[in-house]
Structure 1
Amino acid sequence: MNEELISRVGHHLRSWVTGRPLDGDAATVVLEDPAGLDALLGSDAAGPGTLVLVPGAEHRRDERTGATVVGYEGSLSGAEGDASVDDVLFLQIQDYGVSPYMSLLGTTLVRMSGDTDFELFLADADAARAEGRFASFAVSPAVQLADVSALGARVPGDGPGTRLYVGRDGGVSVSPQGLRLGTVGDSAAGLRAEWERLEAAGEVPGAVPLGAAVPESLRGPAVRERPWLARYLAVLDVLRELQARGVTEPRVSGFGHRLVPELDAAEEALDVDDAEAPILCWTPEQAYVRVPGPGRTFQLGRRAAEITELVLVLGAAGALARHPERAEVERVLKFFAEKGVRVLEVTA
């Protein structure tokens, strides 16, 4: 397998695991059994931008659809085990509940395989929100949580146009833990219609990807009662990135801590539930601000970081009114405006 295809498979696997779409018409389909391949390729659910992962298959381009077929070994469907592609890409799979006790030997997919896993995820999220304590495995650069739209993340584009899973019985969903959307060979329009019907029946978005493992009667209310889960999941991404850069155990603004202690008592902080607001982290030596979109991270000095937190919590007008040095606040606002960080450009 050449380097270009290796890179492409890696990107597709990440998209399939999380539900986050790739650019253009790219989609990913994982078959648990090669018996379903002909039916899939005979439908319009696979096209030129589709990468199809099939147990034991030879790598090839399908002439009918233009889809790329790639073989893999192991299993991508279970809550534990491992899978590999060409002895080049390796993926370890485990459920959330055992993850604190397992060694991370490489890229690790963590799934919610049932109620207990989901409740443990919620307990960890609550502890991070209230006390700033993050589960150590969850912030490891090796870990990727699966089906994040079902966990409260906002993932525009998740659905059958982005990812599909075909089980041994021919049933089709977007993930091994997902509600059934149809049977392999069904049209893309039919799968999309069933996705939309099931999503509309859920209490909050994300009903399909975990619906076969976690009942909506548990998931829906839990996510609705925690509108900050999308921000929590974004924070986990930031902490993984920082740890990969050697920055360990930073504190995170709004998660048990504020850099400016007086802001602990701020009512209706603007960044509390906003998954798109910049995320401020700091260590005793350095502060970091991660902004949404393309995922840019800026290093700041302590004073600039404190002003940034004022803006995130109070808005620009509130920060200008609160800080004794108006010129310093304006310099910070100008810095981020020049970087295109519009969320900080609140009318003063």
Structure 2
Amino acid sequence: MHEALISRAGLHLRSWVTGRPPAGGAAGDGAVTVVLEEPGHLEALLASDVVGPRTLVLVPGEQEGEEHDGSGATVVGYEGSLSEPGGDASIGGTLFLQVQDYGTSPYMSLLGTTLVRVAGQVDFEAFLADADLARAEGEFAAFAVSPAVQIADLPALGGADPGDGPDTRLYVDRHGGISVSPYGLRLGTIGEDGAAELRAEWDRLSEGSPTGAPVALGAVVPEDVRGPAVRERPWLGRYLGALDVLRDLQAHGVGEVRVSGFGRRLVPALDAVEDPADPADPRAPFLAWTPDAAYVRVPGHDRTFRLGRQAAEVAEMLLVHGSAEALLEHAAGGDGALPVPRAAIDQVLGFFDDRGVPLLPGARVAEVTA
């Protein structure tokens, strides 16, 4: 496989695993990514309107990134399994990865890119326990923050990113059943149901959920278990975002990181703020710190900034209060807590406004990533 196709296959695989649409969204002709378990279903797939020119199809066997006439879809071969925990897979003989279930991942060695799947209720409960511990104590499971790990089916785990569904990803099992993931509810049958039927069934099964959360794990985690557990934890989307932040920092050699709102704050007095603005909003910027430095990452911008201590404290005050006005109103309340000069707030906001990044601190900051 040539370099451009390798890169494209990696991006498609990440979208297919997570349920997050690729950059630019999922609008267009055909699903973005389709994974087949049985190569015999390829002909029926390519003859349907489920795929189109933007589609990348992963099929068992040796394929060199062929573009098929008619559908225009690109077909790439893989070896192994992209669905079964405990196995390995390779794509085009170039991308190598292993698949693990969530419950055993803390005890397994990470030997490279690893897809971690919730494969049943025990795995789901283990995921919730790790999330609860991170929320209460600020202790994140070591494997979950490794840059090598990608947790699968994020919408079903409380992820807030919209756009999952049959336009983003499809999985076709050995018997021709179609879902969005190996453990998802069935949407249709290969060769019988077209794109419109798959979308209609997705809409029916995910009614009331903007992310389609009930579908991706519906075959292995009962909805009367998953649904209440996620609703009781409206902060799970932010937790999953914090994992992304920690993986990014670790990839850049930054370890021993604390994340604001998970167990503690950089400014201890902020723990006393009632109804803080950031705990349940996965779109709010994240503030993290080590004994030596602090960092801010803004979801959707893929940029991380390193801050001095004073700027980091102002940043956290803004995140907790939600706006400069709310922060100033609190500081003027007469209790003497969190006094902060307006000039410091303006400096913080001005730096990020100048760079097109919303409502965040600024001082003399150095970008870690771009």
Work out whether the TM-score is over 0.5. yes
TM score, norm. by length of structure 2 = 0.90
1:118-144 residue CA offsets vs partner (Å, 9 max, x unmatched): 000000000000100000000000000
1:137 maps to 143
1:255 aligns with 2:288: no
1:274 maps to 281
Could you say what secondary structure the match of 1:327 adopts?
helix
2: CA distance between counterparts of 1:192 and 1:199?
10
2: CA distance between counterparts of 1:241 and 1:203?
27
1:48 aligns with 2:56: no
1:77-132 residue CA offsets vs partner (Å, 9 max, x unmatched): 21220110232101100000000000000000000000000000000000000100
- Identity in percent: 65
Q: CA deviation at 1:261?
A: 0.4
Distance 1:49 1:205, change over 3 A: closer
Number of residue pairs matched?
345
Q: Given residue 303 of structure 1, which amino acid in structure 2 is its aligned partner?
A: Q
The answer as to whether partners of 1:90 and 1:107 remain within 8 angstroms in 2 is: yes
Could you say what secondary structure the match of 1:116 adopts?
helix
1:77 aligns with 2:93: no
1: CA distance between counterparts of 2:201 and 2:50?
14
1: CA distance between counterparts of 2:154 and 2:209?
16
1: CA distance between counterparts of 2:167 and 2:305?
34
1:177 maps to 183
Q: CA deviation at 1:343?
A: 4.1
Could you say what secondary structure the match of 2:216 adopts?
coil
Distance 1:44 1:20, change over 3 A: same
Specify which of 216, 222, 227 is matched with residue 220 of structure 1.
227
Q: Which moved more, 1:13-22 or 1:141-150?
A: 13-22
1:99 maps to 105
Q: Given residue 327 of structure 2, which amino acid in structure 1 is its aligned partner?
A: A
The answer as to whether partners of 2:134 and 2:262 remain within 8 angstroms in 1 is: yes
1:138-178 residue CA offsets vs partner (Å, 9 max, x unmatched): 00000000000100011221100010000001000000000
Q: Given residue 55 of structure 1, which amino acid in structure 2 is its aligned partner?
A: P
1:146 aligns with 2:141: no
1:21 maps to 21
Q: CA deviation at 1:38?
A: 1.1
2:344 maps to 328
Q: CA deviation at 1:340?
A: 2.1
2: CA distance between counterparts of 1:333 and 1:163?
38
1:62 maps to 68
1: CA distance between counterparts of 2:161 and 2:48?
26
1:337 maps to 353
The answer as to whether partners of 2:162 and 2:211 remain within 8 angstroms in 1 is: no
1:190-235 residue CA offsets vs partner (Å, 9 max, x unmatched): 0000001000166984000000111101110011110000000000
Could you say what secondary structure the match of 1:208 adopts?
helix
The answer as to whether partners of 2:101 and 2:116 remain within 8 angstroms in 1 is: yes
2: CA distance between counterparts of 1:337 and 1:125?
33
1: CA distance between counterparts of 2:348 and 2:147?
30
Could you say what secondary structure the match of 2:213 adopts?
coil
Which residues of structure 1 form unaligned runs of 5+?
none
1:194 maps to 201
2: CA distance between counterparts of 1:169 and 1:324?
63
Which residues of structure 2 form unaligned runs of 5+?
332-338, 362-370
2: CA distance between counterparts of 1:103 and 1:214?
26
2: CA distance between counterparts of 1:178 and 1:324?
50
1: CA distance between counterparts of 2:208 and 2:281?
25
Q: CA deviation at 1:341?
A: 2.7
Specify which of 33, 36, 40 is matched with residue 41 of structure 2.
36
2: CA distance between counterparts of 1:74 and 1:212?
22
1:242 maps to 249
Q: CA deviation at 1:294?
A: 2.3
2:132 maps to 126
2: CA distance between counterparts of 1:172 and 1:108?
24
1: CA distance between counterparts of 2:360 and 2:275?
17
Could you say what secondary structure the match of 1:200 adopts?
coil
